[in-house]
Amino acid sequence: MEGIVGTYILPCLWAFLACMGFGLVFNIRGFGLLICGLGAGLGWLVYLVAMAQGTGDIAAAFVAAIAIGAYSEIMARVRRCPVTGYLQVALLPLVPGAGIYYTMSYCVEGQTDLFLATLLHTLGMAAALSVGAMLVSSVLRILRRRREVRESKE
């Protein structure tokens, strides 16, 4: 049982708590903070499970971004609030901050091979997060339009 706690529960708890703090920076108050924290915990859990299944970190980030995007869209509809606040805060644990740091460090040190490899990996992570989140939004927008067209024909 200790393996599950250390592998999944604690990292998700830390993501939850950290994003609740960032929610304050984004001026999210009350129940919205809890929603942001839960979204971050959910995203981190999906990322960890995908990594445990043997996917690469970029694919795991993509799947986690889809989960966070869907969660944020649902919570925004339930609370009648903008999606972006929930989405931005919940995606923060997955942002490749270390990759950005090491990319610039290798650039400054003149290590061109490491710079390019790290740059491409960091861009891949960032692209996976943005495409995953946008994919959910786009699919929901298309489904909503189809439903509206169908309802207007009736």
Q: What is the pLDDT of residues 29-77, one digit of tens each?
A: 888 888 888 999 999 999 999 999 999 999 999 999 999 999 999 998 8
Find the range with the poorest average confidence among 16-25, 43-52, 89-98, 112-121: 16-25
pTM value is 0.88
What is the predicted pLDDT for the residue at 81?
Answer: 84
The position carrying tokens 């996917």 is: 55
Neighbours of 34 (CB within 10 A): 13
Contacts 24+ apart (CB under 8 A), 146-152: none
- 97 vs 148: CA distance, rounded Å: 41
CA distances from 136 to 4, 20, 60, 107, 118 (A): 29, 23, 16, 35, 28
* Dihedral angle, C-alpha 61, 62, 66, 67, nearest 10 °: -30
The answer to whether 92 and 22 are in contact (CB under 8 A) is yes
What is the predicted pLDDT for the residue at 152?
Answer: 82
What is the predicted pLDDT for the residue at 5?
Answer: 65
